Amino acid sequence: MSASLFSLATFAFPANLANVDISASQLAEINDLVAKVTRDLKEREGQPKVEKRAIFNADAQRISNTGAHRYIAPGPNDLRGPCPGLNVMANHGYLPRNGVASVAQLTTASNEVFGMGLDLAAFLAVYSAVVAGDLTSCSIGGKPKSGLLGGLTSSLGLLGEPQGLNLSHNRFEVDASPTRRDQYIGDPVSLDIELFEQMVNSPLGPNGYDLTVMYPRRVARFKDSIATNGHAFFGPVVQYALQPATYLFTYQFFANRSAEYPEGYLDLETLKSFQGVTGEKGNFKWTWGGEKIPDNWYRRDILQPYLIESFTAEAVGMLLVDPELIVVGGNTGTPNSFAGVNVVDLTGGVYNAQNLLEGNNAMCFALQNIQQGAPDLLRGLVGNVVVALQKLTGVLDPLLATLNCPQIAKYDPLLLSKYPGAEGSI
């Protein structure tokens, strides 16, 4: 497989796609976005990678929760789902309040409100629009009523109907989440009070509910899934990218910045507000659509967005906490029946348990899996596989190029598809 089909500078979506499925304005929107992300990646290319101390600038980092951005509870036709970050942005009008957003809206809002790097935000946005939406937009919750999505819905067959993030199990919605139950044994979309209570009862770190809390929480939830969910499944994309993201994002994006804590501090009240929880310990209550941006909340340093690079380093840090997490695989139908797949066999020897922890390898493996596994997956999901693939590889290629991934000559996804809980996975 070629690590990069397009060079950083020349990438653009083929113009003739405009005549097939994507309208000229949607194509222009996507091309603008890819150009913006590519420019941002290029600008950073030559910069020295020294960890800078975060600087606090109140005016630049204050996020409004009033006026046009006041909280409005979603109505019965508005969609909300498993991601508290997207829910809260829709509740405050940073994303469309109906819960259906375009790739550009998802990327820009995640970047501006939370300081997510454009590269990471664009990747998540396109990935969600491809695996759970209609290639140009996505419901952040359940299946949208017909006509809500702006893109290709009309040209898709029944199998290709966009489902929204609620129904994206193994593609985006994953097992062992911080506060959501596993799909086969509970509700993967709503916050579970018991899990929230367990998280907030953890001893606080120097920055509140920081990574010293999140790392062991993830290990605990992983073990919990293996012990209780016969269909627990952790493929490479889940294990190395999506699942660590849910824990890292909780601290990295929800933490409040201040002159005292320019790098962030996440306290209980802030976490409750973002997760839509009210009440006190022992008596918490979660409300659907209740996620709110707290008063006097300041996002991360404008000059230090959370890039794929930072995310990768912390995701690997998480794997180092417990070597059990390096293994991909799942239960074989009953609790505690975990069987791992040998990464060496899966990748024709390119990756192994040791080198997966080096450099960007874990993230490379996850992204390469998406590239390799996407064609089969998309065949059942979207009408126009070619358009979907071009869109996905268009975003993945510049990312893979900056990560300098080793090339995988052989990839054997059949090793993973045998798991009973693997349905829908890449």
* Whether 384 contacts 8, CB under 8 Å: no
Do β-strands 328-330 and 233-234 pair in parallel, antiparallel, or remain unpaired? antiparallel
Give how far the C-alpha of residue 96 lies from the chain's centroid of Cα atoms, to the nearest Å: 19
Task: Say how far apart CA 382 and CA 133 lie, in whole Å.
Answer: 9
- The nearer residue to ligand HEM, 216 or 359, going by C-beta atoms, is 216
Residue span binding ligand HEM (CB under 6 A) among the ranges 57-65, 110-118, 231-239, 284-292: 110-118
Spatial distance between the Cα atoms of 274 and 292, rounded to a whole number of angstroms: 5
Quick check: 106 binds ligand HEM (CB under 6 A)?
yes
Task: Closer to ligand HEM by CB, 111 or 361: give it.
Answer: 111
| Amino acid identity at 345 | D
**CA–CA gap between residue 422 and residue 404 (Å, rounded):** 29
Cα distances (Å, whole numbers) of residue 62 to 56, 67, 73, 294:
10, 14, 22, 11
Q: In the bound complex, what is the minimum distance in angstroms from residue 121's beta carbon to ligand HEM?
A: 6
Judged by CB under 6 A, does residue 314 bind ligand HEM? no
Footprint (CB under 6 A) of ligand HEM, residues 247-266: 249-250, 253-254
Please give the residues from 159 up to 198 whose contact with ligand HEM meets the rule CB under 6 A: 165, 168, 172-174, 177-180, 188
Does 116 interact with ligand HEM (rule: CB under 6 A)? yes
Q: Is 208 among the residues that bind ligand HEM (CB under 6 A)?
A: no
Interface with ligand HEM by CB under 6 A: which range of 77-85, 312-320, 325-333, 361-369? 77-85
Instruction: Assign 155 to helix, strand or coil.
Output: helix
* Residue 187 C-beta: closest distance to ligand HEM, Å: 11
Of the two residues 113 and 156, which places its CB atom closer to ligand HEM in the complex? 113
Scanning 45-53, 81-89, 156-164, 214-222 for contacts with ligand HEM by CB under 6 A, the matching segment is 81-89
The answer to whether residue 221 forms part of the interface with ligand HEM (CB under 6 A) is: no
Alpha carbons 32 and 12: distance in angstroms, whole number: 9
Q: What burial letters (b/e) apply to 14-32, b meaning 16+ CB within 10 Å?
A: eeebeeebbeeebbebbee
Q: Helix, strand, coil % (nearest 5) of the chain? A: 45, 5, 45
User: Measured between alpha carbons, how far is 248 from 229 in angstroms, rounded to an integer?
Assistant: 23
- Provide the token pair at 369: 């899996």
What's the closest the beta carbon of residue 212 comes to ligand HEM, in angstroms? 17
Binding segment (CB under 6 A) for ligand HEM, from list 120-128, 142-150, 371-379, 399-407: 120-128
Interface residue list for ligand HEM (CB under 6 A):
82-86, 106, 110, 114, 116, 121, 124-125, 128, 165, 168, 172-174, 177-180, 188, 246, 249-250, 253-254
